[in-house]
Amino acid sequence: MMKSSGDKMRVRKAVIPAAGLGTRFLPATKAIPKEMIPIVDIPMIQHIVEEAVRSGIRDIVLVTARHKEAIENHFDYNYEIEDTLEKKGKQELADLSKAVGKLCNLISIRQKNPMGLGHAVLCAQPIIGNEPFAVLLGDDLIDSEIPCTQQLIDLYHEHQASVVGVMEVPMEEVSKYGIVGGKMLSERLMHVSHLVEKPAVGQSPSQFAIPGRYVLSPTIFDCLKNTKSGKGGEIQLTDGLQLLAERERLLAYQFMGTRYDTGDRLGFIDATLAFALKRPELAPGVRELMKKHLK
Ligand code: G1P
């Protein structure tokens, strides 16, 4: 059946770049992908995939690299584990393992050279084609009632314009992020006219930072093809977005939710404690442990 153009403009796919070496988490990442490091007992990438799935997305494009096969295996069935558990009558555990296999369609494509985040997103073009899509970066966990990606998708559908999620950060932290500048349209929504990747303090267009959530029109691919290498000699997604903002409307939305920077050691511990305290079976024990360590 032919798809109507209305269908075509709906966001159905998400790209998760996962080709990085994860050197910030060495030695943990020497033999396992950093995306597989768990927050409590759920690998970081599963938290990210679950956000996409809760936002109505089933097709996840993983931009991957050598030595990342563990991620693909994680989102598949594991007959050995599941069959053994079932035979032992441990159905609940078997179902827990199977549920991850059922979560999504994982489609992977390799980023053969580490040429930056913008280049990683461009690698997904053969799978995304001419459709809008979400991008979720694996180092940022966002805890919110309505998933952050869902918030951005709703705005994309309403305005038919690309949207990046933003949060306000202290001035001394602007150089850790892509920063947007533009005109506020309402309390949380901005029409973006310019973006800077990791500006120096004092040269930032605002304090609105992009913590790794985007919903983009396919025009971004053409923009990324024309993006010259920027910060760190890499093709930056933020620079591609600058070209997009010059060609099409680009919005920034101050999303609702709490964000954890799990790419940073303290942020990782913060997320671990927060997610453990949300689990009724773990919370009392974790509180006791915290009291013990603070003595
Ligand atoms: C990347 C992006 C940056 C964004 C950040 C969010 O940087 O380049 O624009 O704000 O992710 O985590 P990285 O942290 O990979 O250096």
Residue with CA closest to ligand 1 atom 15? 117
CB distance 227 to 240 below 8 Å: yes
Whether ligand 1 lies within 6 angstroms of the CB of 138 is answered as no
Superfamily of the domain at 13-263: Spore Coat Polysaccharide Biosynthesis Protein SpsA; Chain A (3.90.550.10)
Pick the atom of ligand 1 nearest to 178's CA. Answer: 9
Compute φ and ψ for 113, nearest 5 degrees.
-125, 140
Q: Is 181 exposed, middle or buried (0-12, 13-18, 19+ CB in 10 A)?
A: middle
Q: Around Cβ 11, how many Cβ atoms within 10 Å? A: 22
Pick the atom of ligand 1 nearest to 237's CA. Answer: 8
CB distance 192 to 155 below 8 Å: no
Whether ligand 1 lies within 6 angstroms of the CB of 140 is answered as yes
Report the alpha-carbon distance of residue 117 to residue 124 in Å, rounded: 11
Whether ligand 1 lies within 6 angstroms of the CB of 242 is answered as no
Whether ligand 1 lies within 6 angstroms of the CB of 139 is answered as yes
The pLDDT of residue 4 is 44
Report the alpha-carbon distance of residue 219 to residue 214 in Å, rounded: 14
The pLDDT of residue 16 is 98
Pick the atom of ligand 1 nearest to 177's CA. Answer: 10
Report the alpha-carbon distance of residue 121 to residue 74 in Å, rounded: 22
Whether ligand 1 lies within 6 angstroms of the CB of 211 is answered as yes
Pick the atom of ligand 1 nearest to 238's CA. Answer: 9
Which residue type sits at 243? L
Whether ligand 1 lies within 6 angstroms of the CB of 244 is answered as no
The pLDDT of residue 185 is 97
Whether ligand 1 lies within 6 angstroms of the CB of 238 is answered as yes
Report the alpha-carbon distance of residue 40 to residue 278 in Å, rounded: 11
Report the alpha-carbon distance of residue 66 to residue 235 in Å, rounded: 20
Task: Report CA(22)–ligand 1 centroid distance (Å).
Answer: 13
Pick the atom of ligand 1 nearest to 212's CA. Answer: 6
Task: Report CA(232)–ligand 1 centroid distance (Å).
Answer: 12
Whether ligand 1 lies within 6 angstroms of the CB of 195 is answered as no
CB distance 22 to 29 below 8 Å: yes
The pLDDT of residue 9 is 84
The pLDDT of residue 8 is 54
pLDDT tens digits, the chain, 295 residues: what are they?
444 444 458 999 999 999 988 899 999 999 999 999 999 999 999 999 999 999 999 999 999 999 999 999 999 999 999 999 999 999 999 999 999 999 999 999 999 999 999 999 999 999 999 999 999 999 999 999 999 999 999 999 999 999 999 999 999 999 999 999 999 999 999 999 999 999 999 899 999 999 999 999 999 999 999 999 999 999 999 999 999 999 999 999 999 999 999 999 999 999 999 999 999 999 999 999 999 999 8
Whether ligand 1 lies within 6 angstroms of the CB of 35 is answered as no
